[in-house]
A = this chain, B = another copy of it.
Amino acid sequence: MEGLYNIKCTVSYDGGNYGGYQLQDNAETIQQRLENALEKIVKKHTRTYASGRTDAGVHARGQVFHFLTETPIPEDKWAFAFNALLPDDIVVLTAQYVPHSFHSRFSAVEKVYRYCLWNRRVDDVFSRHYSWHIPYALDLDAMREAASYLIGEHDFTSFCSIRSAAGSKIRNIYEITIDEEEPGKIWLTFRGNGFLYNMVRIIVGTLVNVGAKKRIPRSIRDILAEKNRDLAGKTAPAKGLFLWEVKY
């Protein structure tokens, strides 16, 4: 693989105008925009590989992708080259040369997702594309107790879209924190070794039920044990979710 370089990039995007990260025939996607830009830079169609897909409407602060190329642009110029060709809702933040053993998806050891709730009677015009508006009171301590039952290695079938094609539904959640950044602006932060299709959004939908006293915190244990998606809450809206960081 002499003369072939492996480039790792972090990219931030506002998912609001896209049909998700991954290439598809009938919608604009982040990957398509990245590969269009890359083709112009290296004068050759080049496949990119991300840490994982994000759904339609989901945002990223630190998605990671990599690609192999023969074009040796100076490391600090890659981001400029991409950003000059990308729309303003996709921004490449960093780029670096990495060993060929690095793979955005298979080398990842931890992912961090964050979900934002706007919990006041009226919605906030400046957060409306980046949070889920919950106009009723939430008991954050009840939500924290409920979240505690999800920590550790579990079969998350109950918190996974039935459309998931994943083989094993076992994942390990290291930590869930729930913090009020300013009055009414609540961040749920999830750290784990990986997350299934819609898993964070279904967990958020269920925790919000707990916060609203429609479920008791302990019910989360039973939902997990039953391995039945129908028992969990509804999938929270995509617009409040951010792929925050991928760790290697």
Contact = CB atoms under 8 A, between A and B. Distances in A.
A210 interface: no
Nearest to A13: B125
Contacts of A93: 122
- Count this chain's copies in the assembly: 2
Interface residues of A, number: 20
A128 interface: yes
A210 to B, nearest CB: 27
Interface in A1-16: 12-14
B12 A90 contact: no
A90 B125 contact: yes
A83 B122 CA distance: 8
Interface string A166-196: 0000000000000000000000000000000
A43 B191 CA distance: 53
A203 interface: no
A124 interface: yes
Contact of A14 (B83, B122, B125): B125
Interface of A: 12-14, 59, 61, 79, 83, 88-93, 122-126, 128, 130
Given A83-B122, A89-B128, 14 more contacts: A12-B126, A13-B125, A14-B125, A14-B126, A59-B126, A61-B126, A88-B123, A88-B125, A89-B125, A90-B125, A91-B124, A91-B125, A93-B122, A126-B130
20 contacts: A12-B125, A12-B126, A13-B125, A14-B125, A14-B126, A59-B125, A61-B126, A79-B122, A83-B122, A88-B123, A88-B125, A88-B128, A89-B125, A89-B128, A91-B122, A91-B123, A91-B125, A92-B122, A93-B122, A126-B130
